Amino acid sequence: MKQPNINVEALMKAQFSYTKFWWTTASLCRFLIVVINAVALFITANAGVLAFFAVILTIAQPLAQWYSDRLKSTANSILRKIEMAKGLDWAIKPREISDIIATLPKRVKQQAEKTAGLPENYFSSQEPPSPRRLLQNLEESAWWTKHQARPMAWYAAIFSCAVVGVAIIILIVSLQSALSQTTANNIAKVTISVIAFVFSGGYIRLADDYNRLAYAAEWAEDKAHSLKDKPDLTESEAIKVVHDYHIARAGSPLLPEWLWKMKQKELNELWDQRATQS
């Protein structure tokens, strides 16, 4: 059978995009469960319908998260192969590509097939493959990750604090108002549900996870920058830095698609300036 003409970089990007779609879906399910529970406290006429949707979402949320984690593992595997191919000229064998394609969702394969024949330009360095080139690629990748993870840490922290703060304020105001006992109890239940959503949903931890990802990326960037001009740089030294970075990255949360689109133009310009000055 003829090997499909696939742009491996496009395949990786499509896989990461699809991974983020299911990750967002899982987060949305978690949020909607809280909303439905809150609505059910005040609207009892359609309690059965609301309970049905709550059950569906409760089942869908972990399934979507599990599927996202599986997709993420494959996407990271493709990324590592690309880094080794571009950095050290470790060719991605047709057998490996076929095995990867066989496990990918149809949507990802269709998206990648649209870009077949286009140039692969995931990394900006044009140097020939070598340990130095591998570290140049790592430096660029880690720099991009750092400048996306840092604002995401702030966004997650601000969101969590704002939601908890608003919930507590509403609770205090409702307790001091002339509300019926039933209404006051329902508001208290909603407040507890919202606070539990922020903590049990991992949004407080999410801020710390993004912050740690930013620090890991900064470490990898600095390490790659300091080692890449080493006269006797060996292949094993370069691979070790890449390996350590990928361990930290694998356990970190995904960076959302909207953040990349929002910062893409600015970061591209900043990286081009940095590349020309270094």
CA angle, 151 as apex, 199 and 247 as ends, to 5°? 75
- Of 77, 65, 67, 74, the C-alpha closest to 30 is 65
3-state helix, strand, coil in the chain (%, to 5): 80, 0, 20
pLDDT for position 40: 77
pLDDT at 34: 83
Specify the pLDDT at position 112: 78
Beta-carbon contacts of 54 under 8 Å, excluding residues fewer than 6 positions away, are 33, 36, 37, 40
Phi, psi dihedral angles at 112 (to 5 degrees) = -70, -35
CA distance linking residue 36 with residue 257, whole number of Å? 27
Which amino acid belongs to residue 167? A
> Buried b / exposed e across 59-89, counting CB within 10 Å, b at 16+?
ebbeebbebbeebbebbbbbbbbbbbbbbbe
Environment class of 201 (CB within 10 Å of its CB; exposed 0-12, middle 13-18, buried 19+): middle
Phi, psi of 70 (to 5 degrees): -65, -45
pLDDT at 26: 94
pLDDT of res. 110: 84
User: pTM of the predicted model, to two decimals?
Assistant: 0.85
Q: pLDDT tens digit string along 52-99? A: 888 999 999 999 999 999 999 999 999 999 999 999 999 888 888 888
CB atoms within 10 A of CB 236: 8
Q: How far is CA 54 from the centre of its chain?
A: 26
Low-confidence ranges of the chain (pLDDT < 70): 1-5, 44, 115-120, 178-179, 278
What is residue 63's predicted lDDT score, i.e. its pLDDT?
97
Q: From the CB of residue 262, how many other CB atoms can be counted at a distance below 10 Å?
A: 13
pLDDT at residue 1, rounded to an integer: 40
